Homo-oligomer: A and B are copies of this chain.
Amino acid sequence: MTTTASNVSATTASVDFFAKHQDILKTATDALTSRNHVSPFPEIPSGRIYGESAAADGQSAFESYLNSTFDTGQPCAEGEIGDEQSPFGLPLKIRYPKADVDKLLHAAQAAMGSWRDADVDVRTGVCLEILHRLNKRSFELAHSVMHTTGQGFMMAFQAGGPHAQDRGLEALAFAHVAMTRFPGEVRWEKRISKTDTESFTKTQRIVPRGVAVIVACSTFPTWNTYPAFFANLATGNAVVVKPHPGAILPLAITIRIAREVIAEAGFDPNLVTLAPDDEASPIAKELVTRSEVKIVDYTGSTSFGKWIEENAKQAVVFTEKAGVNCVILDSVENIKRVAGNLAFSMCLYSGQMCTSPQNIFVPRDGIKAGNETMSFDDVAAAIVSAVDKLLSDPKMACEILGAIQGEQTLRRIEKAGESARVLRPSSVIGHPTHPDARVRSPLILATSSAETDVFMQELFGPIVCFVATKDTSESIELATRCARETGSITGLVHTTNADVERQATDALTCCGVPVCVNLTGQKLVNHTAAFSDFHVSGLNPSGNATICDTAFVANRFRVVQCCRPA
C-alpha cells in the first residue's frame, strides 16, 4: 500500500492483487518516463509462453459462444439483440441480453460507493488482475477480435490481446502516478505571528467523476477501449461499455472477466457493465447525454465523434475520430526498400487502421532515388509492384489484408475507383480456409494536387491515392492542410535532404501529426507502441485526446481536501 493520496475507509480486498502484480506496475511506471520499448504482455502467440493448450483452449472457448446467448450476469432488459457478422464468413449467431439504460446507470451508480472509498492501490490491484486474466485469455480474445473486425489471426492476437493489454496497463500506470502524486495527509503549518503558529491536518481524497461511458468501434474493439476502461476504473468511476453492434464479443468477454475479478475482490460487479445495442435501436446518443454520465470516451467515425463533442455537455469527452494520413515522398536512397515498407503499410488490415496511410504525395516531376531521377509514374509503379509481390501468395495475402469489416467499405472501394485514374484495381482474393471471407486487394489511384475533392476526404478501407504535386513544398502544404482540415493521426516522410526533413516534420508536428521518417524496415507508420508513441494528438480534427498521456487520466478524478486543526 502506498501512503499517498488514498481514501480513509479503504476496503481491503480478499486477495492482495496489488502485491501480486507490483512488478508489472513498476515496469509500466518506469516505462512511462523512460519511453523505452517494453511490452509487458508477450506478443508472440506461442504455447511456450501462454501454455501448450492455450491455443486450443482459446479456440474452443470462442466456439462455445457461437449459436448461443452470452450471459454477462448484469441487470438487463427483456429480450435479446446481436447480429455480428464475421468478415471471414463464419456464422456466429451470438445473442446478448438487451441493455436497459436506466437499470444499467442505476446499478453503476449504486456500485460506486465502496469502490470510490477503496484505497488507490486496492483499485489498481483489481485492474492489474483483470489485465492478467485478459492476457491469459488472449487466444480466445484473438478469435473474437478476428471474427468481428476482420483482422488476420496474428494481428487479432497481438492488437486485440497483448498490445491492447499493454495500452490498458499504460493508462493504468498513468492513472496510478496521477493519483499518488499528492500525499494522503499533510501537516500544514503557518506562522501567524512572531510567536504563534497554526497547524492543520489536511487530508486529500481522490473523488471520481461518476459513471463513465465508452463508445467502442468495430475495428479495434479492445485496443481502443482498454486505455479508457482502466483509466476510468482505477480512478474510481463505474464504466459502461457500449460496443459497436458489429464487434460486441471481444468486449463482452472483457466485461465478464472484469466482473469476475471485481466480485472476487469484494466489490459490486456492476461497476462494469456492457450496453450492447443494434443498428435498429441504437442507444449511444441517449447514453452519452444522460445526466448521470460524467465521462465519455469515443472511438469511431468523425461525424458521430463530433456529435458527441458538441452534445455530451454534461461530461468530460475524450474522442479518437478518423483522419486522412499522408505520406510525403521527396527523395529516397533505395526505392525498393521504401516501396516494400509502404506496400506493407498500405495492405495491412486493408487500410482499416486509423493509422493507415491514404495519400502519397509525389512531385509530378519525380523524385531523386539514389543517384537517379524517377518519374512520378515510375515511383507509383515501384510501389504497385511491391504490393503485387506482397500479395502474390494468397495465404500470406489474406493474413496481411484480413477481411473487410463493413459492407459499406466495399461500396466505398467501388465509388472511389470511378473518381481517379486506377493504377491497381481492387480485386477479390480467395481465402484458403474461409471461402466466404470478404478479402480485397487495395485499390490504388493516381490523381493530381488540384483534385482535392478526390483525396482531401477520408477514404476508409483499402484505398490509396498517389497525388502528383508541383513539388515537395506543395506536398508539405497539402499534408498539413489535410491535418488541419480533415485530421491526421500519422504522417510519413521520405527524404534524403535534411532541410526538407526539418521543414516537413516541423510543419506536420505543429499540426499535431506524429511523423515517421525514412522507414524502410519492418517498422510501419501504422504501428503505435504503448509506452512510446503518443497516439492521436488532439491538436487536429482526428480527435481531442492523446492516448495515452497525463491529460488522458488527470481529468477523470479530483483531489478534494479536508482541513482540521492539528
In the complex, the chain B residue whose C-beta lies closest to that of A554 is B551
**A207 pairs with B537, CB closer than 8 A:** yes
- Distance between Cα atoms of A309 and B316 in the complex (Å): 11
Chain A residues within 8 Å of B, Cβ to Cβ? 33-37, 116, 178, 181-183, 186, 188-190, 192, 198, 200, 202, 204-205, 207, 209, 309-310, 313, 505, 509-510, 512-523, 529, 532-534, 537-539, 546, 549-551, 554-555, 558-565
- The answer to whether residues A517 and B554 also contact, given A116-B510, A205-B509 and a CB cut-off of 8 A, is no
- Residues in B whose Cβ lies below 8 Å from that of A529: 188, 190
Contact of A558 among B188, B209, B546, B564 (CB under 8 A): B546
**B555 pairs with A555, CB closer than 8 A:** yes
Contact of A539 among B514, B533, B558, B564 (CB under 8 A): B558
**B35 pairs with A509, CB closer than 8 A:** no
Nearest CB in chain B: distance from A265 CB, A: 21
**B534 pairs with A564, CB closer than 8 A:** no
- Distance between Cα atoms of A559 and B549 in the complex (Å): 8
Can you tell how many copies of this chain the complex includes? 2
- Residues in B whose Cβ lies below 8 Å from that of A36: 186, 188-189
- Residues in B whose Cβ lies below 8 Å from that of A555: 551, 554-555
- The answer to whether residues A512 and B559 also contact, given A519-B565, A550-B181 and a CB cut-off of 8 A, is no
**B561 pairs with A510, CB closer than 8 A:** no
Nearest CB in chain B: distance from A105 CB, A: 16
**A560 pairs with B532, CB closer than 8 A:** no
- Residues in B whose Cβ lies below 8 Å from that of A560: 509, 512-514, 534, 537, 539
In the complex, the chain B residue whose C-beta lies closest to that of A552 is B554
- Distance between Cα atoms of A519 and B204 in the complex (Å): 18
- Distance between Cα atoms of A514 and B188 in the complex (Å): 15
- The answer to whether residues A35 and B550 also contact, given A200-B523, A519-B565, A560-B509 and a CB cut-off of 8 A, is no
- Distance between Cα atoms of A375 and B490 in the complex (Å): 70
- Distance between Cα atoms of A530 and B54 in the complex (Å): 55
28 cross-chain CB contacts under 8 A:
A34-B183, A34-B186, A35-B188, A36-B189, A116-B510, A192-B521, A192-B522, A198-B521, A202-B533, A209-B539, A509-B562, A514-B561, A514-B563, A515-B561, A516-B563, A517-B562, A517-B563, A523-B563, A534-B559, A534-B561, A537-B558, A549-B554, A549-B559, A550-B554, A551-B551, A551-B555, A551-B558, A554-B555
